[in-house]
Amino acid sequence: MDIVTVVGARPQFIKAAVVSHALLAAGVQERIVHTGQHYDPGMSDIFFSQLGIPAPDTNLEVGSGTHATQTGTMMIRLEKYLLEQRPDWILVYGDTNSTLASALVGTKLNIPVAHVEAGLRSFNMRMPEEVNRIVTDRISDLLFCPTSTAVRHLENEGISQGVHLTGDVMLDATRFFAERAQRFEMVYPESPFYLATIHRAENTDDPDRLQSILKAFSLMDQTIILPLHPRTKSIIEAFHVPNNVTIVDPVSYLEMLSLITAADKVLTDSGGLQKEAIWLSTPCITLRDETEWVETTNGKWNQIVGAHTESILKAVQTDPEGACPVFGEIPGTTASNEITRLLTT
Ligand code: UD1
């Protein structure tokens, strides 16, 4: 059994870290291909070193570009690698351009594709990630779903073959690394604070939405720590950043887990951060008009408010009800072990 795992963006490094450990423990040979979609040391290298991910067998060094340039360049370079290597499986994660490029190349070379985090839907086709997910799910041979909601979405699209409910590998990662994160020295000791992230195109590329979010931040009663994705960093320079917002460089995974745990609330447009907040019992406010992770919204633990100043402020003043929602688990095993079992049987 010889697996090629393709990763390229920050959340994929985190997911691949826990599955790589499980594959190694099961004696499976895995080679990692880094597409180079994320290339800044703080967006890439730090994750490999901190999470103990095996060094990539190759880096396609694709870098930034338009969607077509980025995806097309990845496909051309990945095809060359796969024609030489001919693995038994290609393992892909999530919904980025790296995911789509790998699934397309693998399928056309008749190399089976396994998709981790299959079946997620926002039902918003203006999101590039939604297009990537739908196409990847349609052409994958094994579809590993984190939740039963994801299984249902695939059923509704007529996809049932190769579909498995595995639980969520990000829950494995959160549990495994949260303990280490507790021992991690916090670099931003200001307390109390809210933790915010903004990187989705729908917010960064729409000045009205970004302005409205920043206005909400300016009216909050606490410091907001805002680790900034390079995309947002270059855009936000044209805006007035409120005095109570502390902008910091992108943070490592352990640092992020410590920040989430210490924060009073999380405000984000990220997918993964919504879940991590709930698993770490920090209420979340999602700066998007919809979420793929509907389980997180139970008891108002995650409030989906879009980019309206008033709605964001109201959500910050609303506390969740009852215990944190539980999701992403399957009985008796972990998602990483279940994925490893399914790939090897
Ligand atoms: C990508 C994924 C998104 C995921 C996010 C995680 C797609 C379509 N989107 O979005 O689903 O949530 O990763 O972070 O694949 N840049 C740098 N240095 C880097 C990486 C990016 O400066 O190391 C800048 C470049 O200007 C680039 C822009 O950020 O053009 C956007 O990067 P890109 O990888 O295209 O998409 P993300 O916004 O990171």
Show the tokens assigned to 62. 């694709």
Using an 8 Å Cβ cutoff, are 149 and 123 in contact? Answer: no
Report the pLDDT value the prediction gives residue 193, as an integer from 0 to 100: 94
Nearest protein Cα to ligand 1, atom 22: 230
Is 38 known to be catalytic? no
85 exposure class (CB count in 10 Å sphere: 0-12, 13-18, 19+): middle
330: helix, strand or coil? coil
Q: Give me the pLDDT at residue 165, please.
A: 98
Residue 6 CB contacts under 8 Å (≥ 6 apart), including other chains: 32, 33, 35, 78, 90, 91, 92, 98, 99, 101, 102
Nearest atom within ligand 1 for CA of residue 98: 15
- At 85, the amino acid letter reads Q
DSSP 25-56: HTT-EEEEEE--SS-STTTTHHHHHHHTPPPP
CA distance 8 to 99: 8
Ligand 1 atom closest to 9 (CA): 13
Query: Could you identify the atom of ligand 1 that is nearest to the CA of residue 199?
Result: 38
Residue from 64, 92, 202 whose mutation best tests the ligand 1 pocket (most atoms within 8 A of CB)? 64
Q: And the tokens for 241?
A: 């950043």
Mutate-to-test residue for ligand 1 from 45, 198, 229, highest number of ligand atoms within 8 A of CB: 229
The encoded tokens of residue 92 equal 């892909």
Give, using CA atoms, the residue closest to atom 16 of ligand 1.
Answer: 230
CA of 199 to the centre of ligand 1 (A): 8
Q: In ligand 1, which atom is closest to the CA atom of 96?
A: 15
**Cα–Cα distance measured from residue 221 to residue 43, given in angstroms and rounded to the nearest whole number:** 30
Structure tokens at 61: 């060094």
pLDDT tens digits in sequence order for the chain, 345 residues long? 999 999 999 999 999 999 999 999 999 999 999 999 999 999 999 999 999 999 999 999 999 999 999 999 999 999 999 999 999 999 999 999 999 999 999 999 999 999 999 999 999 999 999 999 999 999 999 999 999 999 999 999 999 999 999 999 999 999 999 988 876 666 666 679 999 999 999 999 999 999 999 999 999 999 999 999 999 999 999 999 999 999 999 999 999 999 999 999 999 999 999 999 999 999 999 999 999 999 999 999 999 999 999 999 999 999 999 999 999 999 999 999 999 999 999
Partnered with residue 295 across adjacent β-strands are none
Q: Single out the residue of 106, 112, 114 nearest to residue 79, CA to CA.
A: 106
Helix H, strand E, coil C: the string for 85-135 is HCCCEEEEECCCHHHHHHHHHHHHCCCCEEEECCCCCCCCCCCHHHHHHHH
Pocket of ligand 1 (CB under 6 A): 9-11, 37-40, 43, 64, 95-97, 128-129, 199, 229-231
Q: How far is the CA of 50 from the centre of ligand 1 (A)?
A: 20
Nearest CA to ligand 1 atom 20: 38
User: Residue 278 C-alpha to ligand 1 middle, in angstroms?
Assistant: 24
- Classified as helix, coil or strand, 290 is coil
Question: Residue with the nearest Cα to atom 27 of ligand 1?
Answer: 64
Atom 19 of ligand 1, nearest CA residue: 38
Instruction: Give distance in angstroms: CA of 10 to centre of ligand 1.
Output: 9
Given 21, 34, 153, 199, the catalytic residue: 199
Long-range contacts of 181-188 (CB under 8 A, 24+ apart): 181/253, 181/254, 181/255, 181/257, 181/258, 181/261, 182/258, 182/261, 184/254, 184/255, 184/257, 184/258, 186/255, 186/258, 186/259, 186/262, 187/248, 187/255, 188/225, 188/246, 188/248, 188/259
Domains with residue ranges and CATH for the chain: 2-168+330-343 (3.40.50.2000), 180-316 (3.40.50.2000)
Atom of ligand 1 nearest to the CA of 234: 26
Hey, whose CA ends up nearest to atom 5 of ligand 1?
9
Report how far ligand 1's centroid is from the alpha carbon of 252 (Å): 16
What's the number of CA atoms in the CB half-sphere (13 Å) around residue 330? 18
- Expressed in angstroms and rounded, the spacing between residue 61 Cα and the centre of ligand 1 is 14
Specify the pLDDT at position 191: 78
Distance between CA 113 and CA 116 in Å, rounded? 10
